[in-house]
Structure 1
Amino acid sequence: MPYVEHNPSSTPNACVIWLHGLGDSGHGFAPIVPELKLPDSMSVKFIFPHAPERPVTINGGMRMRAWYDIKSLDFNSRADLSGVLESAAHVETLIQEQVDKGIPTDRIVLAGFSQGGVIALHLAPRFKHKLAGVMALSTYMCEPSLLAQEATDVNRDIPIMMAHGEQDEVVPIFMGNAAYKTLTENGFNATWQTYTMQHNVCMQEISDISAWLKKVLG
């Protein structure tokens, strides 16, 4: 999987894998790294993968970067499970690449915005190795009814930061909150924060992400 890589000045000992939203690319969130103002001493590498290009049904079959197809805007069937599973497998491979380079899984944060967050929330609860944490921004959950039977205990205690815009018209806030409730009902350590914004990120959220990363990886 191709990606944009942002390396610290010293040898990295931690990594954030950040998955973009529909129609974007790894370049979309790469400029956020300097805005986070993480100290060099943290030695955090950032990886921003590019989703593959595929036809997206709700956009008239137009090809664009997407982690999965969206066949309907219906709450229960928005995310195509087969595409989610395929992308989650690609991200697992990317995680393994970082492990092979000397960064253990418990020093890896899985982050995602919108579609990317769907992949993060699907993979992390089912992942067989402990992660450092999960950051799920302006997103929702694919097939939440499957979580109870498919979740493993490995990552039940890791911090999961969920954040959403109160005026989000792309992924309505109730979808994000439903994902948060599903996680907590299944014993996951999720937190929920809202911001006065639409389907984007804001400066206060960036500041909160920075503080969270310092706590999780510092």
Structure 2
Amino acid sequence: MMGRVLSSDLLKIRRKGLWLLAVSGPFGIVALQALNFGIRYDYLTKKYADDLWGGLIENIALLVPVTVLAGVTLISSLIANVEHQTSSWKQLLALPVPRTAVFAAKFLLSVILLGVSCALLAWGTAALGVALGFGWDFPAVKILKISFLPFLASLPFLALLLWMSLTVRNQAAPVAIGLLAAVCSLFAGQLPEFVPLAWPLLAAGPPSGLRLAVGGGVLLGALILLVGAVHFERRDVD
């Protein structure tokens, strides 16, 4: 049943710019680092002479948390706006489909879009390193880690912002909260490890905080998703 709802949602987002948004995030990160290494190639290759791939991955990892949180914010809001702008909630919820399936399908659609972004970032990182002359022996595990794990650590924000976006017609509050979190993530290194805002950065960094960041992100995200689904099931949506 949820599969049919998801198929319907995929059709609804055609020509809504969501796929373009999913592509623009990783493209922006890779383009910025291409410019960075292109302008300062001699300096950076000398600085990271012992591990050229490690230097590239380190520079890309710094941009991933803020980009992921901004992407989570915009994608969750735009998915909700597909229903808000057409005032189709009453028609949608009148169908013989559980509200929880509707809510879960929206979440799964968000995960698909952001998962595509993560995959494109991994591909773009490898392609950039090869283009810069770092060789074909790229560290695939490290590239996949910085591409996907910050997103898993950001699942609490996705669940929360999607919940807010679906239940509130005015998107100003969820978008403001999400973008503020994205900006604050630039300084997340100063936060204690148990603060969720620090988790995307921890997930992209050293292994020491990896288990807490990813495990905490998945568990807290599942909890918020469950609470949001229960609330969505009981609440009237305009």
Q: Specify if TM > 0.5.
A: no
- TM bracket (short chain): 0.3 to 0.5
Which structure is higher in RCO with an 8 Å CA cutoff and minimum separation 6?
A: 2
Greater strand fraction, Structure 1 or Structure 2: 1
Q: TM-score, normalised by structure 2?
A: 0.31
Q: TM-score, normalised by structure 1?
A: 0.33
**Which of structures 1 and 2 has the bigger CA Rg?**
2
